[in-house]
Structure 1
Amino acid sequence: MREITVDELFTAKNPVVIDVRSPIEFKEGAIPGAMNVPLFTDEERARIGTLYKKEGSDAAKWLAMEIVSPKIPEMLKTIREHAGSTGMPVVQCWRGGMRSKAVASFLEFSGLTARRLQGGYKAYRQYILKRIPELLPEKSVVIHGMTGTGKTVVLHILEQKGYPVVDLERMAGHRGSIFGAIGLGEGNSQKTFDALLFERLAELNKPPYTIMEAESKRIGRIVQPDELMDVKTTGVHIQIHLPIEVRISHIEEEYITPYRDEPWYHAKVKEALDRIMKRIKSHETKAMLEEFLTAKDYTGMIRILLEFYYDPMYEHKQLEYSGEFKDIFAETFEDAASQIEDYLKELSLGPVSVNSGRG
């Protein structure tokens, strides 16, 4: 049976990664683009683990064989269809052990050429954690702006024009504030974030600089690497200023309009607001927020939160960065992106080519 290293995976022709771990393992972190064809369900894996602890490896292996045997034809058919006529199946489990070995053997017996990923997902994760600091450029352009200034929108405009944007919120599956997960679920795991960050940096192929948003070290469930934070702290800083009415309208479109009629929405807003209330000292401000919440006047809440919570807090957070700030005063997100583009040209920082490979 032929194996492939993580390094070779990124240069292989048409690799199709088949992750045979259980769904819960796959959900917690997987190689981007991998297809989950689990050898065992979460419940079956738990049963085998329990039996292993009680009766030993032989009994556990026998139970595993009984569970897997009826599934083999359908699993092989799924993998064959997913790989197509040109893809090379690369089978992967947690550590490159029994699960991936069994499935790769089944594939070879069925006449389908396959590879087994040496060291499994564990080796992949070790590899990307080592490579991320190596792929970071020394220079970074950091986009700042108070809540609602559309920093993510501006990033997407620049990304579409070929600038080396690294969208940390998208990778985290979270918008970065206490309200940041509303409508997005629980956000991505650290393993998923690291994999997406590595993939984007590898795609950019060590550009002369990157453009990122000025996020806190923690975004939802994830923590940014120290090396990334260091690059951002000493980067080129651009501060976006937009009229408060534009900011309120943007927050309303992003956080309220798509979800306000959902049965879970009010409870989620109340839960987030309760956390903020603990940090607000003014009884008058708290009373106003409670009044707006009771009336479900979420737009009214936004204005109060910006004025008495987010804006003062943001001014304090700016002190964490060193160097001068370039102020951009704009009326729209497109206007802000255009002004930033002009400033980048002044600094001789233009769009970059993207690497088709992943390593």
Structure 2
Amino acid sequence: MKEITVDQLLQLNNAVPVDVRSPGEYKEFRIPGAVNIPLFTDEERAMIGTIYKQEGSDVAKWRAMEIVSPKIPSMLGQIRELHENGHLPVIYCWRGGMRSKAVATFMAFAGISLPRLIGGYRGYRQYILEKIPTMLPDKAITLHGMTGVGKTDILKGLREQGLPVIDLEGLAGHRGSIFGTFGLFPGNNQKTFDSLLFQSLSEIKDSSFFLIEAESKRIGKVVLPDELLIRKQQGMNLNLQASIPSRVERIYQDYVKPYLEEGWFYEKVIERLAFIKKRLKNREIIELLDEEATAQNYKSVIKILLEDYYDPRYTHKHMEYKEPFLHIDAENTHDAIKEIMKVIASKEAFSK
């Protein structure tokens, strides 16, 4: 039975990781691009674990065989289909143990010899955590700007122009504020974030610099690597500036308009505002916020939040950075992208 390392897996252009863990394990975290062909359902896995603890490994293995046996033809058929379509299925489980070995053995009996991943997902995670600090380009260009200046849209535009962008909010599945998961799923966990960050860094491995947004150490559920924070704090700083009206409109288009007719939207707004009101000291502002939110005057709510909550909290963040700030007019996103590209082109060090 052939076994391959994580490094060998990543060198294969046609590899498709086949995750034979339960659907719940796969959903929680997996190797990017993996397909799930599970040996056990979540309930079956829990049952076998209970039998193992109460009756021992031999009884648990026998029960596992009884459960898996009827599934073998279907599982092998799915894996064989991947193989016949020109892919190389690479079998893995949690730590390269019995589950992946069993599936690889079944495939070998069926006449198809496939590799399995040494160390399984745990080996993959250990590998990427060791590699990520070494993969960061030397120089960072950090986009700063108050809430609503369009940092995410500008980063997206810069990526479309072929520049090396790391979208931290996209990797975290969170937009970095109390309203950061509106319209999104609850956000990625740390393991998924690290896998996606490794993948993003692999895509820009030949670049001497990278662009990121000025995020805090924590975004939603995830924590950024220390090495990335150091690069961010020592790099070039671009401060995006835009007027209150344009920022209000941008936030309304991103956070309100797409979800205005959704049944959950109003209740979620009230729920999230409760967190903010605890931090506001001005009673008049709190009452005005309640009044505008109750009337569903969302643009007024956004304006109040910008002027009395987000903007005052933003100013001190610049103190974390060593290099001076270059100011970019971001009133128009397209013009800001062009201006940033000119700045980068004028900095010889970034093009080497």
Q: Normalized against structure 1, the TM-score is what?
A: 0.95
Does the 8 Å contact 2:139/2:350 carry over to 1? no
Give the secondary structure class of the aligned counterpart of 1:336: helix
Output the CA distance in 1 between the equivalents of 2:177 and 2:302.
13
| Superposed counterparts of 1:18-57, under 5 Å | 18-57=18-57
Output the CA distance in 2 between the equivalents of 1:22 and 1:263.
33
Does the 8 Å contact 1:163/1:350 carry over to 2? no
Any stretches of 5+ residues in structure 1 without a counterpart? Answer: 353-359
Does the 8 Å contact 1:88/1:113 carry over to 2? no
Task: Return closer, same or farther for 1:351/1:112 CA change in 2, 3 Å cut-off.
Answer: farther
Task: Return closer, same or farther for 1:306/1:47 CA change in 2, 3 Å cut-off.
Answer: same
Shift of 1:349: 5.9
Shift of 1:320: 1.8
Output the CA distance in 2 between the equivalents of 1:144 and 1:18.
40
Shift of 1:81: 2.0
| Superposed counterparts of 1:181-260, under 5 Å | 181-260=181-260
Amino acid aligned to 2:292: F
Aligned to 1:319: 319
Amino acid aligned to 2:194: D
Does the 8 Å contact 2:91/2:115 carry over to 1? yes
Task: Return closer, same or farther for 1:13/1:332 CA change in 2, 3 Å cut-off.
Answer: closer
Task: Return closer, same or farther for 1:246/1:98 CA change in 2, 3 Å cut-off.
Answer: same
Task: Return closer, same or farther for 1:117/1:142 CA change in 2, 3 Å cut-off.
Answer: same
Does the 8 Å contact 2:137/2:205 carry over to 1? no
Output the CA distance in 1 between the equivalents of 2:73 and 2:196.
33
Show CA shifts across 1:12-61 (max 9, x none). Answer: 24111100111121122111100011111111111111111111111111
Aligned to 1:275: 275
Shift of 1:325: 0.2
Q: Percent identity?
A: 53
Output the CA distance in 1 between the equivalents of 2:45 and 2:173.
28
Task: Return closer, same or farther for 1:83/1:253 CA change in 2, 3 Å cut-off.
Answer: farther
Shift of 1:128: 0.1
Between 1 and 2, higher relative CO (CA 8 Å, sep ≥ 6) is seen in 1
Show CA shifts across 1:63-88 (max 9, x none). Answer: 11111111111111112223433211
Does 1:107 pair with 2:122? no
Any stretches of 5+ residues in structure 2 without a counterpart? Answer: none
Show CA shifts across 1:170-223 (max 9, x none). Answer: 100110111001110210111111001001111211521110000111111111
Output the CA distance in 2 between the equivalents of 1:231 and 1:146.
21
Show CA shifts across 1:99-121 (max 9, x none). Answer: 00011111111122311000000
- How many residues of Structure 1 are paired with residues of Structure 2 in the alignment? 352
RMSD, matched Cα: 1.3
Aligned to 1:14: 14
Amino acid aligned to 2:238: I
Task: Return closer, same or farther for 1:16/1:323 CA change in 2, 3 Å cut-off.
Answer: same
Output the CA distance in 1 between the equivalents of 2:195 and 2:206.
16
Give the secondary structure class of the aligned counterpart of 1:261: coil
Task: Return closer, same or farther for 1:289/1:84 CA change in 2, 3 Å cut-off.
Answer: farther
Amino acid aligned to 2:320: E
Give the secondary structure class of the aligned counterpart of 1:327: strand
Does the 8 Å contact 2:150/2:330 carry over to 1? no
Amino acid aligned to 1:166: I
Does the 8 Å contact 2:208/2:351 carry over to 1? no
Does the 8 Å contact 1:92/1:116 carry over to 2? yes
Task: Return closer, same or farther for 1:83/1:288 CA change in 2, 3 Å cut-off.
Answer: farther
